[in-house]
Amino acid sequence: METLNKKSVDYKRVKAIKKIFSLVITYLILIIIAIFLAGPFIWLVSSSFKTGQNIYTMDLIPHPFTLANYIGVINFISIPKYILNTVIITVSGIVLDVVLASLAAYPLACMDFYGKNLIFSALISTMILPAAAGLIVNYLTISKMGLLDTLTGVIIPGAVSVFSIILLRQSYLTVPRELIDAAKIDGASEFKIWYKIMLPEVMPAISTIVIFDFIGLWNSFLWPIVVLQDPNKYPLATALKYLSGQFNYKFGYVAAGTVLSIIPVIIVFLAFQKYFINAVAGAIKG
């Protein structure tokens, strides 16, 4: 009996050791992959603190360490002005997309009407079109509306995203139908049901849309160049391209400006990342 107990203990010990060893190997592999994928960004951050003499070396620890690149970027381009332009474009675009997409997704998920499935299929089919395909149409439309060289002209074409509509529609489908029926029995209007019941239930999906929109709008480059003629109205990403054209021989300035533009994206992503799994899982399940 003692022999059997000893063998059982030894077996459990070996199994635990194998599990720990497997876990350590898995984490080591994931760490190596993460370092490999983050390598270019780490090198960019390192380069932003290097002097002109050692800017192109592969050393990750700057020697000597300097803040001259950041000071030079801030002195050369008006960072607060470009950040303000970017914030206006980003916040306005996010608010419009969340409101319009949530309103458009509600009837597709919660109402029965003729052609609903056809409309939904048409929306999905538009996702195969590249963004550049609508560039000329959007430009002509904005031009006819007299919105060229305005921030409004930059914001309007991206005011609602098909992806956002589909994601919210799938999230609405996960909300219990009994909640909607009970609200209708109590005399609530469709707008009140949408605002009071549906929106709070799909906050993870809305948070996901906020992340995607923030990353896309904050880094918007091509469309602002097409619409805006005044460089003072450029968002930050476009202004940094202007910086790289002026200082292509000073890569440290370009690196410092790029790092400054990435910091808000990282902050927003870290703040909302916990909602990603719930939102995507809900969309797939729906």
d(Cα 94, Cα 278) in Å, to the nearest integer? 20
95-128, pLDDT tens digit by residue? 999 999 999 998 888 888 888 888 888 888 888 8
Same domain, 142 and 19: no
pLDDT at 51: 77
Domain end among 69, 88, 112: 69
Local confidence band at 93 (pLDDT 50, 70, 90 cut-offs): very high
Domain end among 11, 37, 69: 69
Same domain, 191 and 264: yes
221-275, pLDDT tens digit by residue? 888 888 988 888 888 888 877 665 555 557 777 788 888 888 888 887 777 776 6
Same domain, 262 and 164: yes
Q: How far are the Cα atoms of 33, 46, 57, 62, 63 from residue 53, in angstroms, in the given order?
A: 31, 14, 9, 11, 10
Local confidence band at 281 (pLDDT 50, 70, 90 cut-offs): low
The identity of residue 95, as a single letter, is: V
pLDDT at 74: 78
Closest CA to 275 of 210, 212, 211, 208: 208
Q: Can you give the CATH number for the domain in which 125 is found?
A: 1.10.3720.10
Mean pLDDT is lowest, of 52-56, 72-76, 156-160, for 52-56
Same domain, 94 and 222: yes
Same domain, 64 and 201: no
Mean pLDDT is lowest, of 27-36, 77-86, 229-238, 248-257, for 248-257
Same domain, 52 and 111: no
Indicate the average pLDDT of the chain: 81
Same domain, 30 and 149: no
Q: How far are the Cα atoms of 94, 193, 201, 252 from residue 197, in angstroms, in the given order?
A: 21, 5, 7, 51
Residue 92 pLDDT greater than 90, yes or no: yes
Higher-pLDDT residue of 219 and 96 is 96
Same domain, 160 and 260: yes
Q: Six-digit token pair at 197?
A: 């019941």
pLDDT at 99: 92
Three-state SS for 162-212 is: HHHHHHHHHHHHCCCHHHHHHHHHCCCCHHHHHHHHHHHHCHHHHHHHHHH
String of DSSP letters for 82-137: HHHHHHHHHHHHHHHHHHHHHHHHHHHHH---TTHHHHHHHHHHGGGS-GGGGHHH
124-180, pLDDT tens digit by residue? 888 887 777 778 888 888 989 888 889 999 999 888 888 899 989 888 888 888 888
207-215 average pLDDT score: 87
pLDDT at 94: 93
Residue 56 pLDDT greater than 70, yes or no: no
Domain end among 18, 47, 69: 69
Supply the range of the domain harboring residue 168: 78-285
Domain count, the chain: 2
63-92 average pLDDT score: 84
Same domain, 105 and 226: yes
Same domain, 150 and 50: no
Same domain, 34 and 169: no
1-23, pLDDT tens digit by residue? 555 455 565 667 777 788 888 88
pLDDT at 219: 86
